[in-house]
Structure 1
C-alpha cells in the first residue's frame, strides 16, 4: 500500500471514530429543552401523540462503550489502520496460505491412496466420489448439467446412461477428459431434400422408432455414405466417436426435425482438454466419478 492511501485510510478511520466517539460522549450530557410534562413539544395527530424525552438506558451506554473498546483493540491487533500490520501480524494472505497448505497435505494423502487403484475400482470409493463430484460441479456441470444428464442443445452427452461415443471404461473416460475430443458430422445437404428425408426415415428404422417404411427402404442404399463411420449396421464406432444409431439415445435429439438437421447441416462437437487445468490425479478422480455415475444413476443434485 502506498503512503498516500495509507494516510487516507488512517484519516477516514480517525474521522469516523472521532465523530462517533464525540457523539457518544456528548449525547448523554446534551441539554434538551422540555416542557413541564416532560415532552419536547413535538406533537402529532392533533396532540394525541407527543414526543417524550428520556435518558439513554444504561445497557445501551455500556454496550456502546464496549463496542468502542473492541474497535480500538481490533485496530491494535489486526490490519486496518492504514499500512499498520497489527500487533499479531495476521494477514488474510497468510491465513489462506496456511489453510491451503493444510488442505494440500490432506489431498496428497488421499491422492496417494487413490493412485493404488484402477479407475473402475476407485469409482466405488466414497472419498473419491465426494472429491470427484466437486471437481465435476466446478468443471463439467456447465455443459453436462449438475445431474450429468447432458444437454441436447450443446451436444453434451448424458453421462448417466452408460452409452459412450469414445468408450466407457476407465482409460477411455480418462483420455476423454485429459485430451478432450472433437467430433464432426459432415453435412449431407448435397444429397438433395428427398434423399435426406429418406435417410432420416432409415435412421429412425435402425432404432425401431416409428418411421415411414417406404421412405426408409428408399433411404437404405443412401446409408452407404454413412456406414464408413457408423458401420454398416449403424452401431457406431468408438474409435471415431461415431454414435450408435440403433439405440434410442440421441446426442442432438431424436425427432424427425432433429435428425434431419443433423444429416442436412452436419454437427460439430468439442470436448475441451482439461489437462491444462487439472492435474493427472484430479482427472483420475474425475474419471472415476463419471464412471460411478454411469453405473449408479444420476449425479446428486
Structure 2
C-alpha cells in the first residue's frame, strides 16, 4: 500500500508540475538591485521524461518481482529459490568429486595436493582467526595444531568431534581451597613433573587431592575430560610460573565453537585430513 501510494503521489506531483493548471503562467518577477530578478524558467522537459521512465520501470519491476506486500511477482523470483538453484547446480557439478573425498582414506587425502590446497583454504577462512594462518596457535590462548599434542585426543574421530560439536573446557580455581601457599606448592610440583625445578612433597600431596581426578596421579591427563598432559612442557596458557599460578589459583575457561552447522561433511573431512598430515 505504501509503495503504490508513493508512486501515485510522485506521478501526480510531476504531472501537475509540468501540465497542471498554471504550469505555463508566470507572474512578473520583482527586481532587486536594478538587475537581479528571480528565475522563472520551468524545469527542462527531459527531466520529466526521465522521471516518467523511472516510474514506468518501477511499475514493471514491481509487477515482475517481489515488492508489493506478499506478492511474489509474475516471475515468482526469490533469493531463496535462486540460492537453491545455485546449490543444485553446484551439487550436480561437484557431486563426483565430493563423493570421492568422503570415500577416500586419510592417507590418500594427505597425498592429494588439490584436496590439501582446498583444506588449507577452508582452514584459513574458518579457523585461522584463532589458530593462525599456519595453525601454529597464537596469543597463548589458542592451541598449536601442528604438533602431536591434542587436548581432546588426536585420533581422526576425536578431531572431527572437536570441529563438528565444539569443546568446552573448564579448569576450576583452587586458591580458595588451598590458599596462596598451596597454589605455589602445586605450581612447583607441576613444574617438577615436566622436569623443571625440584620436587615439592607438599605440592605432590595437594596435587593428588585436588588435581589427580582429572589429570591423573602422574599428570598424564585425560583426553575424555579435556584435561591436558602436564608432563610434556606444553602448557596451553604459558609455561611460566605466573601463568601456572593463575591457571591453578584462578582457573581457566576455554571454548572451541561448534562448526557442524557452518561446514559440510566434505569440508570437515578435508580439515581433519589437513590437520593430521605430517606438516599441515
TM-score, normalised relative to structure 2: 0.68
Matches of 1:79 and 1:187, distance apart in 2: 57
> What is the aligned residue count?
267
Aligned to 1:203: 190
When residues 231 and 174 of structure 1 are mapped into structure 2, their CA distance, relative to the original with a 3 A threshold, is farther
1:198 partner SS: helix
The C-alpha deviation readout for 1:8-55, integer Å capped at 9, x for no partner, is x2xx333222221122222234246454xxxx5497xx8997642333
2:26–2:40 Cα contact (<8 Å) kept: no
Look up the SS of the partner of 1:115 in the other structure. helix
Q: Does the CA-based 8 Å contact 1:151-1:158 persist in structure 2? A: no
**Counterpart residue number, 2:98:** 111
* Residues 1:27 and 2:13 are matched in the alignment: no
Distance 2:30 2:106 in 1: 82
Matched, 1:283 2:251: no
Q: Does 1:252 find its partner at 2:237?
A: yes
Contact persistence 1:198–1:219 (CA under 8 A):
yes
- The 8 Å contact of residues 231 and 237 in structure 1, kept in 2 or not, is answered as no
Structure 2: gaps spanning 5 or more residues: none
> What is the match of residue 71 of structure 1?
58
After superposition, the Cα gap between the structure-2 partners of 1:193 and 1:78, relative to the gap in structure 1 and judged at 3 Å, is closer
How far, CA to CA, are the matches of 1:47 and 1:129 in structure 2? 78
CA distance in 1, matches of 2:171, 2:59: 69
Against the structure 1 CA distance between its residues 223 and 280, is the aligned structure 2 distance closer, same or farther, given a 3 Å change threshold?
farther
Residues 127 and 173 of structure 1, relative CA distance in 2, 3 Å threshold: same
- Is this contact kept in 1: 2:182–2:203, CA < 8 A? no
Q: Measured at CA, do residues 197 and 73 of structure 1 come closer, stay the same or move farther in structure 2, by a change above 3 Å?
A: same
CA distance in structure 1 between the aligned counterparts of 2:146 and 2:37, rounded to whole angstroms? 70
**2:6 matched residue in structure 1:** 16
Give per-residue Cα distances to partners, 1:120-153, cap 9 Å, x unaligned: 653652234334555x35xx96xx467563676x
Partners of 2:253 and 2:247 in 1: CA distance: 10
| Distance in 2 between residues matched to 1:204 and 1:42, nearest whole Å | 95
Which sections of structure 1, spanning at least 5 residues, go unmatched? 1-8, 297-301
Whether 1:130 aligns to 2:130 is no
1:81 to 1:181, Cα distance in 2 relative to 1, 3 A: closer
What is the root-mean-square deviation of aligned Cα atoms in Å? 4.3
Q: What is the correspondence of 1:90-239 to structure 2 with a 5 Å cutoff? A: 90-106=77-93, 108-119=95-106, 122=109, 124=113, 125=115, 126-131=117-122, 133-134=124-125, 136=126, 144=130, 147=133, 149=137, 156-159=142-145, 163-178=149-164, 180-181=166-167, 183=169, 185=171, 188-189=174-175, 190-204=177-191, 217=200, 221-222=204-205, 225=208, 229=215, 232=218, 236=221, 238=223
Tell me, in whole angstroms, the C-alpha distance in 2 between the residues paired with 1:86 and 1:192. 71
The offset of 1:115, in angstroms, is 1.4
Structure 1 pair 197–220 and aligned structure 2 pair: CA distance change class (3 A):
closer
* Contact kept? 1:111, 1:281, Cα under 8 Å: yes
The TM-score normalised by the length of structure 1 is 0.64
